Chain A
Amino acid sequence: MAPGPPPESAAKRYRPNAYVSLPTELDPDTYDASPEKRRAEAERLAIRARLKRQYQLQLNNPNPPAVIENPALLRWVYARTQNVYPNFRPTPKTSFLGAVWAIGPILFWMAVFKADRDRKEKLIKEGKYKRPFSVC
């Protein structure tokens, strides 16, 4: 029995894609533990710790505020609602996409209904269409 080529490992088939993340075993970002990366992680941890401290101080305050506002949440809401139009700019791409999504469906359904009506009219003129409601 002649041996064939070795079977392709699952790792090669698991390519990066836009929909799911790579497993940690196959993700090259999790490999290196260079000093730069560790310093970056330490800085991120420091920011996280400061934020946690701020939150815990408010949470364990004996006279706590009624609502502990989350500025990240407020910024997220503001960015998605009130900050979109001021930063909108008509560019070729935005104009094209706007036309596709706004005018495209109207033209599409106009064409569909017209074609359907014409087909039905043709059938009625030829006498092949059975009218569902009586006209006399």
Chain B
Amino acid sequence: MMAAALRGVLCARAAAGLRAGRASAAAPPGARAASEMSKDMLPGPYPRTPEERAAAAKKYNMRVEDYQPYPDDGFGYGDYPMLPNKSQHERDPWYQWDQPDMRHNWGEPMHWDFDMYIRSRVDTSPTVVPWHTMRNHFLIFLSTMLIMFGLGEIYPSYRPVGPKQYPFNDLYLERGGDPNKEPPVVTHYEI
């Protein structure tokens, strides 16, 4: 009884010691490595005053007039700039970009959906046919096909069929009929 109590105390103390050691070695929540950028170079909350806007524009390497943050709707954008929704397909292919495959220069502010607008994904280049024309044509075609398929399901229409007719008196011998007996006569026609 006493040994069990002592064992419990020892184990509890050891466990508490381990937990304290781990807590002191771990970083407090929200800490970042010192090799990362300083807090003022990272994105922050929505800018409220004109000074904050100017500082944010300078941080993102943009002109103050060009800098337009996302509206403060609580969606989590912070002070990140709202750039025009144009994909990397539209950028000049002949300019000497720092990163030619991404068509992106070092330090240039990246679109929030940059990974969507890369050259293997969404393309917002102007289309040969106006977009509304394309949309109308597509919807007309799709709805026509769906309506016709639906009508075909509701009112099916096939060629008339009858039961299959087999020769040799309904395959009398193949079905194991006695070859010595006279097979029953089967006629598939009516005269």
A interface residue numbers (CB < 8 A to B) = 10, 13-15, 17-24, 40, 43-44, 47-48, 51-52, 54-55, 68, 70-76, 78-80, 83-91, 93-94
Contacts and interface: CB of A to CB of B under 8 A. Distances in A.
Given A71-B37, A71-B41, 7 more contacts: A20-B126, A21-B126, A47-B61, A51-B106, A72-B107, A76-B110, A88-B75
A21 B112 contact: no
B106 A75 contact: no
A48 B106 CA distance: 9
A132 to B, nearest CB: 24
Nearest to B123: A20
Given A20-B124, A22-B126, A86-B45, A70 B74 contact: no
A75 B124 contact: no
A91 B73 contact: yes
The interface residues of chain B, by DSSP majority, are classed as: loop
Q: Which of A13, A43, A79 has the most CB atoms of chain B within a 10 A radius of its CB?
A: A79
A70 B127 contact: no
Contact of A44 (B60, B66, B85): B66
Closest 5 CB pairs of A and B: A89-B74, A84-B76, A55-B106, A51-B107, A23-B126
Given A72-B61, A80-B112, A52 B45 contact: no
**Interface residue range, chain B:** 35 or more
24 contacts: A13-B130, A17-B132, A21-B124, A21-B126, A40-B63, A43-B63, A48-B105, A51-B105, A51-B107, A55-B105, A70-B107, A72-B110, A75-B110, A83-B76, A84-B76, A84-B78, A85-B76, A87-B75, A87-B77, A88-B74, A89-B74, A90-B74, A94-B74, A94-B75
A64 B62 CA distance: 27
Contact of B108 (A10, A15, A51, A93): A51
Contacts of A88: 74-76
Interface string B34-62: 00110001111110000000000001111
Contacts of A90: 74
B112 A13 contact: no
B176 to A, nearest CB: 31
Given A20-B131, A48-B108, A83-B44, A75 B60 contact: yes
A70 B132 contact: no
Contact of B62 (A20, A24, A47): A47
Contacts of B109: 72, 75
A94 B72 CA distance: 12
A61 to B, nearest CB: 14
B169 interface: no
B37 A74 contact: yes
Contacts of A78: 42-43
A19 B77 contact: no
B130 A14 contact: yes
A54 B107 contact: yes
Interface in B81-140: 85-86, 90, 98, 105-110, 112, 114, 124-127, 130-133
A83 B80 contact: yes
